[in-house]
Structure 1
Amino acid sequence: MTAHDLDTFQAIEWTGESLRLLDQRYLPQKEVYLEYTDAQGLVDAIRNMVVRGAPAIGITAAYGVVLAARQRYAEDIERWPLLLEQDLQALAESRPTAVNLFWALDNMRRALAQTQFGQHPDTFLLPEAQRIHETDLQANKAMGDLGANLISKHQENGRCVMTHCNTGALATGGYGTALGVIRSAWKRGLIDRVYANETRPWWQGARLTAWELMRERIPVSLNVDSAVSHILKTQPISWILVGADRITANGDVANKIGTYNLAVQALHHEVGFMVVAPTSTIDFNLNSGEDIPIEERSGEELTSVLGQPIAPEGVEAYNPVFDVTPAELVDVIVTEKGIVRRPNKEKMARLMSKQGLH
C-alpha cells in the first residue's frame, strides 16, 4: 500500500534526491509544492508551518536526517556521523510539542548506530525513513477501521460527527488519523455529515479539513469554534473526533488549542469523545499532561490575518497553540494496536505491551 493508493494528493513525497512537500500555508487557494535538499530547509518548513501535524512532522524530520547525512558524508567520509549531530539537534528544536518528531529522530539515531565505518548513510538511514513513512500510512488505515467500528456501535445521538484542526492526509503519511476514521466511516455509510471547526488562528479546519473532505465528496459544514456548544445541543452529533500531538503515560492528551474545550462540551452534551493517534504519539517518559511543553507562537497570528491587522495596534496577545485534555474526559483512544476506553496509566501500559484493548 502506498500513499498514492489512498489519497488524491501526496503532501509528503520522497523523490530520491529531495523531499517534496505540499505547502499547506497556501491551501485552499492554490496547491504549491516545495522541494528540499537539506535539513535546514526542513527545519524551517516545520517551524513555519509548511508541513504540520505530528505524524507528518516526524516523517519530514526522518527524511531531513537522510538529506543531512548525505551532505555530511560528502564533506567528510570518516567523520560524517559526528557532524550529523548538529543537524539532529536542529531538527529536534524545530517544534516542541509533537512527540512524533522526537520518536522519529530516535529511530533515525538507532539506524545511524548500525552504520559501519565508511558506509554510505543511505545504507540504513534511507530505509528507516521510508519505513517510518510507510508504517504511519499502514497505522492510519488500521485506526480508520477500528474507529469506524466504534462509530457503528454507538450512534445514539445521530449520524453526524465533529472534528477539530486537521488530522487527514495533510497531517500524516497518508489517509489520516481522526479524519481517517471519518473517511472509513463514510465509506461504510455510517455518517451523514461532518462538522468542521474552523480552528483559529491558523484555520486548519477551514483551510485544510474542509478542503480534504470536499475532495472526498464527504458532506461537511464549516463552523466557527465558538459555535460548538450550540451545534452539539441542536444537531445529531454522535462523536467528536480529534488527533493528538502527544499522549502521556496516564492518557492525558495534548492537541490543538480548543480540544480541551471540546472534551468538556462533549461530556456535558453526552457526545462521545474519540482521540485517534498512532502509538508513536504516546510518550511514556511523561507521567501526565502537566509535564508536556506547550508551544506558544507569535501574537501576530491572532492580531492579523494574511498580513491584514484585525486588532488594535500594540495590543498584547497570548497565543498557546496546544492544550491538554485530562484522560478522564476521553471516552476512547484509538491506536493502530487497539483501543483504550476511559484511559488511565494501567490501560495505556497494557496497550503499549501489545495487549491491545478492544
Structure 2
Amino acid sequence: MSESFKRHRRLRSSAAMRSIVRENELKMDDFIYPLFVMEGNDIKNEVPSMPGVYQLSLDNLKEEADELLSLGIKAIMLFGIPSEKDEQGTGAFKENGIVQQATRLMKKEAPELLIVADTCLCEYTSHGHCGVIHHEDVDNDESLKLLAKTAVSQAEAGADIIAPSNMMDGFVAVIREALDEAGYNNIPIMSYAVKYASAFYGPFRDAADSSPQFGDRKTYQMDPSNRLEALRETESDIEEGADFLIVKPAMSFLDIVRDVRNHSNTPVVAYNVSGEYSMVKAAALNGWIDEKELVLEKLTAMKRAGADLIISYFAKDVAKWL
C-alpha cells in the first residue's frame, strides 16, 4: 500500500509511548482545596448536595490540615460560615471572624499550608448579597469600603493570598490600595476576574449558607452568553494589580480560560465549581460513570485550556488517584 497518509498512531502504541509525548499532566501542586469553616465545636457536617465535602468547626481543622498535607495538597481556600449575620456583613471583617480564627489556627498548626482567603460578604450578610444594599440593589462603592476592610483583616490574620470574589467594579484597585497602606504590599491578590452568574453554584450556596434572600446576582456577576466581556474584566483587573486571574465556573467556560491565557501572562486559575463536582458525584454514586477517569479527563482539560492552577473539591480524590 502506498504511504499517502500520516501514521499518527505510532505515538499512541503503548502506555509508555503515550506518556513520553503527553502534553499536559496533572500534579498536586496544581490544586487549591476549598474548605468551609464554621463556629462551634465538634462539627463535621457533610454537605447533602456535595458528598465528601464537609462544614468543619475550628477544633477539626488540625486533623484536616494533617490529612491535606499527607496527600500532598499545599493550598486551601477558606470560606467562613458565621453564627450571626447582619446587613453589613460585619462578620467578614471582624478581628475574631470565623475565617480570621481559622487562618490563625491553620498557620499555627500547619504553617507550610498556603492559605487563600475568599474575600466576599455574601456568607456574612443577612440578605445574602455580596455588598451593601440600597433600594434592593448592591451599592458598588459602599461595598468596596467593606471589602477592603475584609481583605486587610484577613491579611492581618495571616492569609497568604487574598481572593476577592464579589465582582464589584474596582475591587482589585481598592483592595490593593488598602493592603499596601496597611503594610501588606507583598500579599498577592487572586482575583475572581471572570465570574459568571451561573446555575452551577447551587451546591456551594448550600455549603456556605449564602443564597440571596431576594433577587439574584446578575447585576454584578457576568452574563454566561458573553465572551468579550471576560477580556474587558481581565484587562481591568490586571491594570488594577491582580496577581492571579480566576475563571469561574471552569468546565462550561473552557473557551474563556483559553482566551484569558492567550491575552495575559498572569497566572490563570480555573474554579471547578460545586455543581460540576456534584453532578459527577451523583452519577458515580449511581454507577453510571467511571468517576476516576472522568474527573481526571475534565481536570486535564482545564490544564489544556490554559489553567495554571485549579480550585477543586476533587483535590483529595485526585491525590489518591495520582
After TM superposition, the score normalised by the length of structure 1 is 0.26
Tell me which of the two structures has the higher relative contact order, counting C-alpha pairs closer than 8 angstroms and 6 or more residues apart: 2
After TM superposition, the score normalised by the length of structure 2 is 0.29
